[in-house]
Each structure stands twice: as C-alpha cells, then as structure tokens.
Amino acid sequence: MTRYVLIAFLLIVGLFSPAAQGELLSVQISGGTEKIDSFVEKDVLYFSMSQLAELFGDRVTWEEIGLSIAYQSAASKTLFFIDSPFLRMGDSVRNMVYPVIIRNGELYLPAETFMPVLNRIRPEKVSWDAHRKTIRVDSEWYNVTDLAFSPKANGLLIEIFVSGIKDYEIFQSEGNWLNITIPNGTVNRRQLLSRRDKEFLLDMNVLQNSGSAQVSLRLRRKIDKMTHRLQTDPDRIQISLIDSLVTPITTSEMKKVGPDDLIDRIIIDPGHGGSDYGAIGHNGTREKEVVLDIAKRLAKIIRKDKVFSAVLTREKDEHLSLAERTRIANEEKGDIFISIHANASVKRSARGFQVFFLAPAKNDSARAVAQLENATFLAELGSQPDSQYDDLSHILSDMIQTEFQAESADLAAMIERDFRRKVNSTENRGIDQAGFYVLNGVYMPSVLVETAFITNRADEQLLNSKDFREEVALAIYEGLKRFKAKYENK
C-alpha cells in the first residue's frame, strides 16, 4: 500500500516537477495561501520545515551542534537527525524513508512521508495534495473539539465536545485512568491538551489513531460512581464522577421536593451579598444591594396576594455560599427558584433585561453571563479541599439538572413575556440558556433574571429607581402566576 502511494507520488513528482530546483510550494492556512521553499532531490520533494514552522508560529532549533534539530510545537517536540530518515517524538521513533536535508541553514523534510507525522504533531488537520503540491492546514475539520472540567458540589463533571459523533467507548484502566475512545473521531489535540488542569488531573493523553480518537485522563479523584451519556446542544460526551459519600436521594425523598400537585412556594435568591458585591455601576451602584431590594419587593407582593408563599435565601447584606443558597431552596421545598441579578459588560452600550434557564450555553454572550455569575462560587469551590465537598449532601445524585429543563425554559419565557409587557424603559434581550451553578443545585424549575445592565448609564439609573424595581418585581410575579396556571392543573 505505502509502496503504491510512494510510486504514485514519484510518478506525479516526475511528471510535474522534473528535478526543478528552488520551487515554491503552497500552504493553505487560515483562509489564505502562503508560499514556502521546496526542491526535488532524487525524485523526492522536500519542503522547508523552518518556513512552515514560522507559518505555524512554532520553532525549529538546533538541539546540539551538528547532531539534531528540534521542531517545537505547543503540544510536542520532534527531533530530527541530520542525514537520517528517523525522527523521534517522545519515546517513539518513526521512519520517514528519506533523510532530512539541511540547506542554507534550513531544515528540509520529505513532503509525502512527513505529512502524516505533521498531522499528529499539529492540532489542525494537515493534508498533503501531491497533485497541486499544496499543504492544506484546516482548523475546522475536527469532530472532537474541546474538553471541560466542572467541579460540582457532589463530584466532577467532565465534558468532551464533539460534533456528529454517534458512538463512543469508555473504560477504566489501572492507575486511575479513564479512557474515552471515539470511533471516526478527529481530535483537536492542542485544544484538548490546553485543558490539562492539575486540579483534576495527574496526567493526560490525547491520541489520534487512524480510525479513532482517544482521550485518556488520569484523574486525581478515585473513580467511584460514574455515569456517562451523549448529550446534544451542544453535542458532547458527558461523564459524571459522583462522590459516594454523598447520601443518595431515595425515590421517596425525591417526591418531597420539586413540584407536587401545588405550585405555591417561591424561593427568591438575591444574588451576591456581603463581601461579594456583584457587579458595580459607573456611579457606584452595587448589584448586591439592588437585587436584594427587588427580591424584597417581590416577596412583599407575593405575601400580600397569598397565591404563593415566599422564602428569601438572604434578607440582609450577607455572604451566602453556593451550598447555603441551594440548601435553603431544597430544604424549604420550593416549587420555583428565582435568582435575581444585574448584568455587567465591558461594552457600556449593552443594556436590557434577560431571563436565563439552566442548560449549556450556546453562544459566547450567554457563556459570559454565566462566567460572571459563577465567578464567586468558583472561587469558593476552588479554595476548598475535596473533603469539604462531602458535606454538601443536599445536592442530588446526578450533576446536570435536566429534570426541570423544559419547565424552566417555559418559566423563563413566561417571565420574559411579562417583562416585555410591563417594562418598557429598557431593552428586551429575550431568554437564553447557560450553565449557572446556583441553578444546578436546586431541584425545581428555576431561572436567573438579569434585570438590567448596571454598567450601562441609563440602566444604572433605572436600577436606582424605586419605580423600576417595583416594575421588575411585578413582571416576575405575573410570570409566576402564569406558570402556576399552566402547570398546576396538569
């Protein structure tokens, strides 16, 4: 097989480049075409690896004078030996059939036989078109694109982002390795390796095999209880490593929380508090104060009407941990959870209200909002040793709350609709989804309301006005009644 490719290659080279010297070879990269030096020697086409490395932003250096040359990319180092066809990557040695050549102080490599090696070194899909004498570097080619670790109160969530993948295999091996094989996977090694996080991993390997991709993670934590599945929107393999010390929620217990026949208890969560100021406006308005006032107004409306009862996660300016917020919600057996916030952006022109529900973010702006709101909780989780997570036994046995996703999306839409009707003083940014930690811990339909942008001058002024705060509270309340009317009779 290789021999036929080689013969075909030699024929092509023979036909199209009759031993020409100093030709240019095309490199298609980042949507453009670049030229690098090449030449044919003994019917083999060589190209300048030194120039290609420059295009990649990588480096070719002399390792020891006259002996070996190193090609250093972000993820790996490859050693070449002058006049030798062998190269070394880590512990493995490969044969390029033809020796490397040094000319004018530059490293030249045989195009046809080196390209499969380059394809493994570089994170992009690299292919060689012998016909057009073109190296194609395609960064959009992958279907295994990224990796993420999310610490949860009861364990660790690992996500491998894929596209168009139907199948995967997962197995454990000695030394706390977790191996995920993805048939027909083409993996963006650089991207995945960049997610190597010492907090969760002792070691990590990402392999591109000819028919599959393999991701191997050597975890810090013991793999105890594990669940995994293929999720969509975005496509990803979701692996939940669950702490066994957390008391499993039994079926009978589960019936006590979440919506029963009645939707009558609302948990209102004013974001931030105490040392966590939340976002701060240009005139010094503090998110933690504004949202507490709106939350209190909402509670007042609810208590006056007696359709629902209301519980606030905090009634004063105090710091609450993620665990405390979600414990209150679950222990108080809420039917709906509403976290109230004010948004922030480096773009001062950004303004308006927006209602979020819990699901993986689909766009950068939603992801940014979740990052903003998760920041304090992340710091909190990061500062605690593993053992302290075990106390948080209120969190349920699975990690991503998907049970009430449809209801939560519906609730978000209903609240947004009443915002649209009642709040005309600022923009309507609609509903969106993102991964908010605080929503993930509560076992009931839940939304996070970004009332307005504290970083926008006009919005900041609104947030400081009693009328706007009352309007916002009323809009949320109308949405709650709408939700009750729809779901209680089901």
Which spans of this chain sit near Zn ion (rule: CB under 5 A)? 271, 278, 341, 373
Residue nearest to Zn ion (CB): 341
d(CA 434, CA 361): 4
Is 368 strand, coil or helix? helix
Considering the complex, what minimum distance in angstroms separates the CB of residue 292 from Zn ion? 12
CA atoms of 343 and 341, how far apart (whole Å)? 6
Classify 178 as helix, strand or coil: strand
Give whole-number Cα distances, 46 to 20, 40, 103, in Å: 11, 6, 11
CA angle 237, 243, 246 (to 5 degrees): 130
- The nearer residue to Zn ion, 341 or 394, going by C-beta atoms, is 341
To the nearest whole angstrom, how small is the minimum distance from the Cβ of residue 450 to Zn ion? Answer: 8
Q: How far apart are CA 178 and CA 221, in angstroms?
A: 11
Our CB check for Zn ion shows the closer of 411 and 438 to be 438
CB of 271 to Zn ion, least distance (A): 4
* Contact criterion met (CB below 8 Å) for 342 and 279: yes
Nearer to Zn ion, 206 or 358 (CB): 358
Rank residues 242 and 412 by Cβ distance to Zn ion and give the closer one.
Answer: 412
Q: Is 313 helix (H, G, I), strand (E, B) or coil?
A: coil
Q: Which is nearer to Zn ion, 178 or 268 (CB)?
A: 268
Rounded Cα gap, residues 18 and 40, in angstroms: 8
Min dist CB 167 to Zn ion, Å, is 40
Nearer to Zn ion, 99 or 278 (CB): 278
List the beta bridge partners of residue 434. 358
Which residues neighbour 365 within 8 Å (Cβ) at sequence distance 6 or greater?
Answer: 432
User: Based on CB atoms, which residue is closest to Zn ion, 265 or 286?
Assistant: 286
Cβ 447 to Zn ion shortest distance, Å: 13
Supply the minimum distance, in Å, between the C-beta of residue 337 and Zn ion.
Answer: 15
Closest CA to 336 of 396, 393, 412, 274: 412
Name which of 27 and 454 has its Cβ closer to Zn ion: 454
Cβ neighbours, 10 Å, residue 330:
22
CB of 343 to Zn ion, least distance (A): 8
Residue 404 CB, nearest distance to Zn ion (Å)?
Answer: 21
Residue pointed to by tokens 């009328």: 467
DSSP character for 249?
P
CB of 371 to Zn ion, least distance (A): 11
Q: Quick one: CA dihedral 399, 404, 405, 409, positive or negative?
A: negative
The full DSSP string for 185-246 is: --B-HHHHHTT--TTTEEEEEEEE-SSEEEEEEEESS---EEEEEEETTTTEEEEEEE-TTS
107 or 267, CB closer to Zn ion?
267
| Angstrom distance (rounded) from CA 473 to CA 376 | 25
CA 437 to chain centre: 14
Residue (271 or 479) nearer to Zn ion, CB: 271
Residue closer to Zn ion by CB (options 123, 278) is 278
Least separation in angstroms between residue 322's CB and Zn ion is 13
Q: How far is the CB of 294 from Zn ion (least distance, A)?
A: 12
3-state SS, residue 357:
strand
Nearest CA to 46 among 118, 107, 104, 111?
Answer: 111
